[in-house]
Amino acid sequence: MITIIQLSWIKLRRDRVALSLSFLLPVIFFSIFAVILGGRSGGPSTRPIPVALVDLDQSELSVRFIDQLQLQDGLKLKLYKETEGPQELLTLADAEQMVRSGKVPVAVVFPAEFEASFSFSMEAQKAVTVLFDAADPVAKPMVSGLLQAAAFKAAPDFMMRSGMEAMALYCCELTEPQKAWMNRDDVGQAASASMGDSGLVKVETTDIRSEQEEPPNLATYYAAGIGVMFLLFSMVGAGGSLLEEDEAGTLERILLTRVGMTQVLLGKWLFYALQGFAQLSIMFIWGWLVFDVDLMTTHHLLGFVIVTAATAMAASGFGVLLATIAKTRDQLGGLSTVVVLVMSALGGSMIPRFVMPAFMELTSKFTLNGWAIDGFLKIFWYDDPAQGLLQFVSGITLEVSVLCLSALVFLVLARRLAEKWQVA
């Protein structure tokens, strides 16, 4: 029995793929999910929510609110347009566009006469508008809550003054010494501290989508996320046919014909890209038939075809590249399991990106899953039906370009690595 144990230990020790699958991959996965779900050193579990902020009042009170909001770790305020030259404040239209395009999930708008109307009476208050996109279910309640918290920190004196005026109107006026005492700063702060967290600022929430528009469908996210993950697995498996051909001698035989290595790689890449396109198409058509994924509009269909083609080309290139890196089919299997699972976890294929910490938003940019999911969400979640087709397509240029460029880089690298099968 000891000999059998010894034999198994030697086998495991010398199989680096099995070793990494057994010990490294679980630890990597545990770490990724622990970070996503907030178990890391008690730190903040969610990313700061980007918020577009429009101040139509430009009053002392609105500025104090904004100052308070800026102190919140959970928010990342955007007050200015992203233009070169002198800074320009965001307008209401800018904010609406930013939410609709998915640049921010929420916009907060302080109305004109916000300060003038601010009082204990909710009816008299001009409401702060929170424009939101239901695509991100976390952002709206979080921002609304933080806005209420900011109200108590920003405006205790305004609250008291308003209360005193109401008292004078309906009951009796305070004496001058009483008014002077109430106007002291420390009284306002003490009042603020005693108020706790119950809210008193009037907030109206508005979904950026019109009533005719469908709310975002989470099934779309998973069609993209899961679809891309399995696409990568399929493409790596398919790319492995190169190694199979090498082992069977058919690759050598092909290279003895008029067909060169570049043609072999391009032929395989193109076929697997077409296969990948079909694979993702079936996933989305199933989503459309069963889970109401909104596929059958001109905008969505066109966008889907473009992003799916780019994703399939990149995934196919990735599969071919991994096949040229690995020396054997077994090695490819182990390598691809580690790489695809880690990419999928970081890129948002397993857990929606809007619940991930901020830094993982950045890491997702290093994954094919991240770029593909971004492209699909821009089509299905952040599209504007009022846009023309050209404008709509230009909205996914970045994602499509990155995916196409990735495909090109993967192919160039694969061609270089494939020299090992070339002339000795």
Partner 1 sequence: MSHEQKKVIEVLGAEKSFGAIKALNGVQFHVYQGERLALLGPNGAGKTTTVRALSGRVHLDQGSLQLLGQPLQPGRIGVRSQLGVVPQEIALYDFMTGSENLNIFGKMNGVKGDELRHRVQWALDWTGLSQRAGQKVSGYSGGMKRRLNIAAAVLHTPSVIILDEPTVGVDPQSRERIWQMLNELRDEGASLVLTTHQLDEAQSMCDRIVILDHGRTIADGTLEQLIQQTVGDNRQVVIHSENGETLRHEVGDIGRELPILLADYASKGIVIRDLQVVTANLQAVFLQLTGRELRES
Binding site for partner 1 (CB under 8 A): 248-250, 252-260, 422-424
DSSP notation for 31-56:
HHHHHHTT-STT---SPPEEEEEEES
Q: Which residues contact 201 (CB under 8 A, 6 or more apart)?
A: 125, 128, 147, 148, 150, 151, 155
Q: Report the DSSP pairing between strands 75-78 and 203-207.
A: unpaired
> Closest approach of Cβ 321 to partner 1, in Å?
22
73, with CB counted inside 10 A (0-12, 13-18, 19+), is exposed
Q: Which is nearer to partner 1, 58 or 263 (CB)?
A: 263
> Of the two residues 201 and 242, which places its CB atom closer to partner 1 in the complex?
242
Return the SS3 of 78.
Answer: strand
| For partner 1, the closer CB: 171 or 424 | 424
* β-bridge mates for residue 274, sequence order: none
Cα gap 245→254, rounded to integer Å? 9
One-letter amino acid identity for 353?
Answer: R
CB of 252 to partner 1, least distance (A): 6
Whichever of 2 and 256 has its CB closer to partner 1, that residue is 256
> For the chain, what is the total number of helices (H) and then of strands (E)?
20, 5
Least separation in angstroms between residue 267's CB and partner 1 is 11
- Closest to partner 1 by CB, 241 or 406: 241
Instruction: Quote the least distance from Cβ 322 to partner 1, whole Å.
Output: 23
The nearest distance, CB 254 to partner 1, in angstroms, is 6
Nearest distance from C-beta of residue 31 to partner 1, angstroms: 42
What the block records as the tokens of 337 is 């399991």
Residues 6+ apart with CB under 8 A from 163: 120
Q: Minimum distance from CB of 245 to partner 1 (Å)?
A: 9
**Residue 70 or 250 having the CB closest to partner 1:** 250
Cα–Cα distance between 147 and 156 in angstroms, integer?
14
Sequence-distant (≥ 6) Cβ neighbours of residue 168 within 8 angstroms: 174
By beta-carbon proximity to partner 1, the closer residue of 255 and 393 is: 255
Strands, E assignment, 258-415: none
